[in-house]
Amino acid sequence: MTPNIPRTMGQQFGRRSWAEPWKIKMVEPLAETTPDQRARALEEAGYNTFLLKSEDVYIDLLTDSGTGAMSDRQWAGMMLGDEAYAGSKNFYRLEAAIQRHYGYRHILPTHQGRGAEHLISRCAIKPGQLVPGNMYFTTTRLHQELAGGRFVDVICDEAHDTSSLAPFKGNIDLGKLEALIRTEGAEKVAYVSLAGTVNMAGGQPVSMANVKAVSELCGKHGVKLYLDATRMAENAFFIQEREPGYADVPIAQILREFCDYTDGAWMSGKKDNLVNIGGWLAVNDWDLYEELRNQIVIYEGLHTYGGLAGRDMEAMAIGIEECVQDDYMRSRVGQVQYLGELLTDWNVPIVKPVGGHAVFLDAKAFYPHIPQSEFPAQVLAAELYLDSGIRAMERGVVSAGRNPATGDHYYPRLELTRLTIPRRVYTQAHMDVVAESVKMVFERATETRGLRMTYEPKYLRFFQAKFARL
Ligand code: F0G
């Protein structure tokens, strides 16, 4: 396969610039802070950007989760909320949108992605089983572990190499997966957990050829294949851009074809589906659906609302239609690529190729003098905030947590700081400001010191841990 990655979206047309396929109808003022105010706010937050108040943040790139701007159609849809406890009209609209665009048979709404992860993990994992997947995600792996499973990483080796330009660094390594199934036995494998795109690898996509091959391998051994569809529409964009034979296929059709190779999916609607809250779970198998439907009433709500208001389901149904539009997706991923190119031009070390939802800074390359036990990616997020009020997120040793068996830190090969771009929120001028701040912080890198952890919560510690300067 030839990597065919255009340097800029616009270069295809002989120029650099592109414009968003929308205009701004409502604005929210941004506050700027002084360096002193930021130093104080960061100290109070224990050097953890999750603990900053959003009013102290200038450009918020903490996450693309629930931070997008809804369209006028979605806001209009909110007014059509049918707030019935059971059988809301909006549920049936959501169900139809998921069936149409993702293709699964049985649909359950959930309050957000981890609600769906909880249910599928409870119902599809028996204690002691293995869950192979293409790199862990924090909440996904935790739910798999809480259900008694053990996550096994079977992603391709290129995923761990920040400089590899392989076009589909999210792919499962078929050799690793097959060896695992053969040595452990298919009955020991709960299911294969496939994510498109792979968040922790830098938003890297999975190819259609890979999902097809994984699906065949699973079929041969009677193992189910479930998809984390959170950013699967963005993954479909990369297939269109890079995989031979898909250049002229609409994103909606690519998404559907990909999902058809899988047996079900869980979803954080707060990403691709363009809502501020919501998620869903979808499976083809009736018996599993029945079990999930039994459990959902305990943990989320009745199976026709799953913790959401009718208006939330309506907004998500419309968001699904909008996220599969080619012009929307080109501008979405194009904005991320624009930021990545600026940084590349200035020789700032980032994960390449640039992924779908974020630019990931290589903190190990920023701070070769700071050992991983002193949290270089956490340091980098703190430095960015101090420089300009931009909020980023650690995706390294803090996010990786501890091995439940040994109690030691997991030391992931990737020690990254994520600049996550909310959907339809910031403009190209904001991206310029971000790039300039990253460059400043990079130029000062040799003077920067590490952190020590002063407070560590039991689960998902990156959210609430506190640090102090060494
Ligand atoms: N799967 C992936 C790939 C995710 O990125 C997330 C959330 C979830 C599942 C869980 O969904 O937040 O709706 O419960 N990722 C956010 C992030 C938190 O910032 O990357 P959720």
Q: What is the DSSP string of 13-75?
A: GTSS----SS------------HHHHHHHHHHTTT-GGGS-GGG-SSB-S-SSS-SPPPHHHH
Tokens 């809480």 sit at which residue? 146
- Number of domains, the chain: 2
Shared domain check, 291 and 343: no
In degrees and rounded to multiples of 5, residue 365 shows phi and psi of -75, -30
Distance CA 26, CA 144 (A): 41
Report the pLDDT value the prediction gives residue 151, as an integer from 0 to 100.
97
Shared domain check, 293 and 228: yes
* Domain termination residue (choose one: 287, 305, 323): 323
Shared domain check, 76 and 51: no
* Selection from 191, 193, 187, 189 nearest residue 170 by Cα: 193
The tokens describing 235, both together, are: 């993954």
Phi/psi region, residue 45 (left: phi>0; alpha: psi -120 to 50; beta: rest), is: alpha
101: in domain? yes
Shared domain check, 181 and 76: yes
Shared domain check, 429 and 298: no
Q: Which residues pair with 131 in a beta bridge?
A: 151
The pick from 117, 142, 199 for probing ligand 1's pocket by mutation, whose C-beta has the most ligand atoms within 8 angstroms, reads 199
**Low-confidence residues of the chain, pLDDT below 70?**
1-17
User: Domain residues for 142?
Assistant: 72-323
Tokens 């979808």 sit at which residue? 282
Distance CA 32, CA 106 (A): 47
Shared domain check, 350 and 207: no
Task: Express each pLDDT in 11-31 by its tens digit.
Answer: 555 665 678 889 999 999 998
Distance CA 463, CA 418 (A): 14
The pick from 137, 144, 395 for probing ligand 1's pocket by mutation, whose C-beta has the most ligand atoms within 8 angstroms, reads 137
* Domain termination residue (choose one: 298, 323, 348): 323
Q: What is the DSSP string of 406-441?
A: T-PBP--S--EEEEE--TT---HHHHHHHHHHHHHH
Shared domain check, 380 and 277: no
Report the pLDDT value the prediction gives residue 19, as an integer from 0 to 100.
82
Q: What is the DSSP string of 89-140?
A: HHHHHHHHHHHHHT--SEEEEESSHHHHHHHHHHHH--TT-EEEESS--HHH
Tokens 């400089």 sit at which residue? 163
Shared domain check, 199 and 273: yes
Distance CA 44, CA 36 (A): 12
Report the pLDDT value the prediction gives residue 162, as an integer from 0 to 100.
85
Ligand 1 pocket (Cβ < 6 Å) reads 63, 65, 112-114, 137, 139-140, 195, 199, 228, 230, 268, 270, 279
CATH assignment of the domain containing 15: 3.90.1150.10
C-alpha 231 – ligand 1 centre gap (Å)? 9
Task: Determine the atom of ligand 1 nearest the C-alpha atom of 269.
Answer: 13
Shared domain check, 77 and 46: no
* Selection from 357, 363, 362 nearest residue 333 by Cα: 357
Distance CA 112, CA 114 (A): 6
H/E stretch holding 264 reads strand 264-268
Query: What is the sign, positive or negative, of the torsion defined by CA atoms of 65, 55, 69, 75?
Result: positive
Shared domain check, 432 and 290: no
Torsion, CA 400, CA 361, CA 332, CA 440, rounded to 10 = 140
Task: Express each pLDDT in 28-70 by its tens digit.
Answer: 999 899 999 999 999 999 999 999 999 999 999 999 999 999 9
Q: How far is CA 58 from CA 43, 55, 384, 424, in A?
A: 17, 8, 11, 17
